[in-house]
Protein backbone atom coordinates (compact mmCIF):
# COMPACT_ATOMS: atom_id res chain seq x y z
CA UNK A 1 0.00 0.00 0.00
CA UNK A 2 1.19 3.49 0.36
CA UNK A 3 3.41 4.85 3.02
CA UNK A 4 2.23 7.77 5.01
CA UNK A 5 3.75 11.09 4.01
CA UNK A 6 5.40 13.24 6.53
CA UNK A 7 4.63 16.92 6.54
CA UNK A 8 7.30 19.26 5.19
CA UNK A 9 9.61 20.60 7.79
CA UNK A 10 11.99 23.44 7.02
CA UNK A 11 15.63 22.47 7.03
CA UNK A 12 14.82 18.82 6.50
CA UNK A 13 14.83 17.26 3.09
CA UNK A 14 11.67 15.70 1.90
CA UNK A 15 11.53 12.22 0.42
CA UNK A 16 13.85 11.93 -2.64
CA UNK A 17 15.50 15.34 -2.04
CA UNK A 18 19.01 16.21 -1.10
CA UNK A 19 19.84 18.86 1.40
CA UNK A 20 22.15 21.63 0.20
CA UNK A 21 24.76 22.81 2.65
CA UNK A 22 23.81 26.05 4.38
CA UNK A 23 26.14 29.01 3.88
CA UNK A 24 26.24 32.02 6.11
CA UNK A 25 25.82 35.50 4.70
CA UNK A 26 23.21 37.68 3.04
CA UNK A 27 22.95 35.43 -0.02
CA UNK A 28 22.75 32.09 1.74
CA UNK A 29 20.07 30.51 -0.41
CA UNK A 30 20.00 30.16 -4.17
CA UNK A 31 17.76 32.90 -5.41
CA UNK A 32 16.86 34.78 -8.49
CA UNK A 33 20.46 36.12 -8.85
CA UNK A 34 22.25 32.81 -9.33
CA UNK A 35 24.16 30.51 -7.08
CA UNK A 36 24.60 31.09 -3.38
CA UNK A 37 27.43 33.46 -2.56
CA UNK A 38 27.34 35.30 -5.91
CA UNK A 39 26.78 39.02 -6.02
CA UNK A 40 23.67 40.14 -7.88
CA UNK A 41 24.44 41.46 -11.39
CA UNK A 42 24.95 45.21 -11.64
CA UNK A 43 21.82 47.12 -12.56
CA UNK A 44 21.83 48.19 -16.20
CA UNK A 45 22.05 51.92 -16.41
CA UNK A 46 20.34 53.66 -19.33
CA UNK A 47 22.91 56.48 -19.56
CA UNK A 48 23.91 55.51 -23.09
CA UNK A 49 20.30 55.65 -24.27
CA UNK A 50 19.70 58.97 -22.55
CA UNK A 51 22.80 60.48 -24.17
CA UNK A 52 21.95 59.05 -27.60
CA UNK A 53 18.37 60.27 -27.34
CA UNK A 54 19.54 63.78 -26.38
CA UNK A 55 21.99 63.89 -29.29
CA UNK A 56 19.29 62.65 -31.65
CA UNK A 57 16.88 65.31 -30.40
CA UNK A 58 19.44 68.08 -30.90
CA UNK A 59 20.23 66.86 -34.42
CA UNK A 60 16.52 66.72 -35.23
CA UNK A 61 16.03 70.31 -34.04
CA UNK A 62 19.04 71.53 -36.03
CA UNK A 63 17.75 69.79 -39.15
CA UNK A 64 14.29 71.25 -38.67
CA UNK A 65 15.77 74.73 -38.20
CA UNK A 66 17.75 74.41 -41.43
CA UNK A 67 14.67 73.28 -43.36
CA UNK A 68 12.65 76.22 -42.03
CA UNK A 69 15.45 78.68 -42.80
CA UNK A 70 15.84 77.38 -46.35
CA UNK A 71 12.09 77.56 -46.93
CA UNK A 72 11.78 81.10 -45.56
CA UNK A 73 14.81 82.38 -47.50
CA UNK A 74 13.77 80.40 -50.56
CA UNK A 75 10.24 81.76 -50.52
CA UNK A 76 11.48 85.37 -50.28
CA UNK A 77 13.88 84.77 -53.15
CA UNK A 78 11.15 83.12 -55.22
CA UNK A 79 8.78 86.00 -54.49
CA UNK A 80 11.39 88.54 -55.62
CA UNK A 81 12.18 86.55 -58.77
CA UNK A 82 8.46 86.28 -59.50
CA UNK A 83 8.03 90.05 -59.20
CA UNK A 84 11.01 90.69 -61.48
CA UNK A 85 9.75 88.13 -64.01
CA UNK A 86 6.23 89.55 -64.02
CA UNK A 87 7.43 93.11 -64.50
CA UNK A 88 10.01 92.19 -67.17
CA UNK A 89 7.52 90.04 -69.13
CA UNK A 90 5.03 92.93 -69.24
CA UNK A 91 7.72 95.36 -70.41
CA UNK A 92 8.99 92.97 -73.10
CA UNK A 93 5.43 92.29 -74.30
CA UNK A 94 4.89 96.05 -74.73
CA UNK A 95 2.40 96.38 -71.87
CA UNK A 96 4.44 99.11 -70.14
CA UNK A 97 1.33 100.92 -68.88
CA UNK A 98 0.21 97.86 -66.86
CA UNK A 99 3.78 97.32 -65.61
CA UNK A 100 3.87 100.95 -64.42
CA UNK A 101 0.51 100.70 -62.65
CA UNK A 102 0.99 97.27 -61.07
CA UNK A 103 4.64 97.24 -60.03
CA UNK A 104 5.95 100.78 -59.41
CA UNK A 105 5.77 102.24 -55.91
CA UNK A 106 3.77 105.51 -55.67
CA UNK A 107 6.95 107.37 -54.62
CA UNK A 108 8.69 106.20 -57.81
CA UNK A 109 5.62 107.12 -59.86
CA UNK A 110 5.92 110.68 -58.51
CA UNK A 111 9.53 110.86 -59.76
CA UNK A 112 8.87 109.20 -63.10
CA UNK A 113 5.78 110.05 -65.12
CA UNK A 114 3.88 107.30 -66.89
CA UNK A 115 4.56 108.89 -70.29
CA UNK A 116 8.32 109.11 -69.65
CA UNK A 117 8.36 105.49 -68.46
CA UNK A 118 6.48 104.21 -71.51
CA UNK A 119 8.61 106.19 -73.99
CA UNK A 120 11.83 105.09 -72.26
CA UNK A 121 10.83 101.41 -72.48
CA UNK A 122 9.78 101.84 -76.14
CA UNK A 123 13.23 103.29 -76.97
CA UNK A 124 14.83 99.96 -75.96
CA UNK A 125 13.11 98.19 -78.90
CA UNK A 126 12.43 94.95 -77.02
CA UNK A 127 10.42 92.24 -78.74
CA UNK A 128 9.43 88.56 -78.49
CA UNK A 129 13.06 87.42 -78.89
CA UNK A 130 14.08 89.03 -75.58
CA UNK A 131 14.71 86.81 -72.55
CA UNK A 132 15.59 87.97 -69.04
CA UNK A 133 18.44 86.45 -67.06
CA UNK A 134 18.99 87.40 -63.42
CA UNK A 135 22.65 87.35 -62.37
CA UNK A 136 22.24 88.56 -58.79
CA UNK A 137 19.20 88.38 -56.57
CA UNK A 138 19.47 89.46 -52.94
CA UNK A 139 16.67 89.61 -50.41
CA UNK A 140 16.69 91.06 -46.90
CA UNK A 141 14.35 92.05 -44.10
CA UNK A 142 15.15 94.91 -41.76
CA UNK A 143 12.76 96.27 -39.13
CA UNK A 144 9.85 94.51 -40.82
CA UNK A 145 10.61 96.00 -44.25
CA UNK A 146 11.42 93.46 -46.93
CA UNK A 147 13.69 94.37 -49.81
CA UNK A 148 14.92 92.63 -52.94
CA UNK A 149 17.67 93.74 -55.29
CA UNK A 150 17.73 92.12 -58.71
CA UNK A 151 20.47 92.62 -61.30
CA UNK A 152 20.58 90.97 -64.68
CA UNK A 153 20.46 91.20 -68.43
CA UNK A 154 17.69 91.06 -71.01
CA UNK A 155 19.12 89.30 -74.03
CA UNK A 156 17.46 90.18 -77.34
CA UNK A 157 18.36 89.27 -80.90
CA UNK A 158 21.36 91.45 -81.70
CA UNK A 159 21.28 93.57 -78.52
CA UNK A 160 21.25 93.38 -74.72
CA UNK A 161 19.60 95.49 -72.05
CA UNK A 162 21.04 95.86 -68.54
CA UNK A 163 18.50 95.70 -65.75
CA UNK A 164 18.54 96.51 -62.06
CA UNK A 165 15.41 96.57 -59.91
CA UNK A 166 14.78 97.22 -56.23
CA UNK A 167 11.54 96.13 -54.59
CA UNK A 168 10.57 97.16 -51.05
CA UNK A 169 7.58 96.87 -48.77
CA UNK A 170 6.12 95.39 -45.63
CA UNK A 171 3.31 93.25 -47.02
CA UNK A 172 3.37 93.85 -50.76
CA UNK A 173 6.66 94.60 -52.48
CA UNK A 174 6.68 97.49 -54.95
CA UNK A 175 9.47 98.69 -57.23
CA UNK A 176 11.31 101.63 -55.67
CA UNK A 177 14.21 101.83 -58.12
CA UNK A 178 14.65 100.78 -61.74
CA UNK A 179 17.43 100.80 -64.30
CA UNK A 180 16.84 99.61 -67.85
CA UNK A 181 19.40 100.72 -70.43
CA UNK A 182 21.21 99.31 -73.45
CA UNK A 183 24.20 97.20 -72.43
CA UNK A 184 27.59 98.64 -73.27
pTM score: 0.59
Helix-helix angle 96-103:114-122, to 10 degrees: 130
Could you count the other beta carbons within 10 Å of the beta carbon of residue 62?
A: 10
For 37-49, the pLDDT digits (tens) are: 677 666 666 788 8
| Residue 31: per-residue pLDDT | 55
- The pLDDT assigned to 18 comes to 58
Residue pLDDT, tens place only, 67-121: 777 666 556 778 888 889 999 999 999 999 999 999 999 999 999 999 999 999 9
Amino acid sequence: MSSPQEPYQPGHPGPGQQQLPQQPGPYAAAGPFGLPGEEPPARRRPRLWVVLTAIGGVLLLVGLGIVILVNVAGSATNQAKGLADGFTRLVIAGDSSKAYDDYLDPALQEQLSKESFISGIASLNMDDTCEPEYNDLQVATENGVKSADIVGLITCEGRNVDLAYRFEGTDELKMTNIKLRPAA
